[in-house]
Structure 1
Amino acid sequence: MPEPTVTLLTQDDCPSCERLKRMLAQPLKGQYDARVRTVHRQRDPDAFAALSAQHDVRATPALIHTPSGAALRVPSGLGEVKAFLDAHT
């Protein structure tokens, strides 16, 4: 199984985060699950803060491609998310 190369930054009480998680689970049928790791603000505050600062993330959700530093901040639709994941996983 490949190592995750994309990090999803998420947090509690974030409707956009929940919408993105549903996109990953339902329309995309979990096909990227093995390649996306989740860093949750309340569960892992140190990693969340470090990644947010390093990649200039000021809002959630955000997808970050770890090797290149490319980031998709507050994605708005399924096509945008799929294109980012296809390009970076």
Structure 2
Amino acid sequence: MSEIIILTQPSCPNCDKLKMFFKFGLKGKYNDIIKEVSKYENEDIFRELINNYEITSTPAIIINDQVLKDTQPSKVKEFIQMWENQ
């Protein structure tokens, strides 16, 4: 699997939940391939990604040019497993 891009921004409770899920729910399994792109820390890259992928809210996950906007734990697991099995 290639890189997992997570789009986040400050003061976003769901962004914090997603990061905690990757850390604890998935036990850090993907830490070495996760790239967090924060709205204010990486503003240019963030804007480019939201424009290219038509993302309107955070958090969002991008893997291999596919976007997951529903970041509930079960959806995240399913999305990642889809890419692991390829």
Q: Normalising by structure 1, what TM-score?
A: 0.86
* Structure 1 residue aligned with 2:73: 78
Q: Shift of the alpha carbon at 1:74? A: 3.7
- CA-atom RMSD in angstroms: 1.5
Structure 1 gap segments, 5+ residues each: none
Question: Per-residue deviation at 1:34?
Answer: 1.3
Of 1, 8, 26, which residue of structure 1 is paired with 2:24?
A: 26
Structure holding more helix per residue: 2
State the 1:41 CA deviation.
0.5
Measure, in 2, the Cα distance between the counterparts of 1:39 and 1:86.
22
Range that drifts further, 21-30 or 78-87: 78-87
TM-score, normalised to structure 2, is 0.88
State the percentage of identical aligned residues: 29
Within-5 A mapping of 1:1-89: 4-65=2-63, 67=64, 69-75=65-71, 77-89=72-84
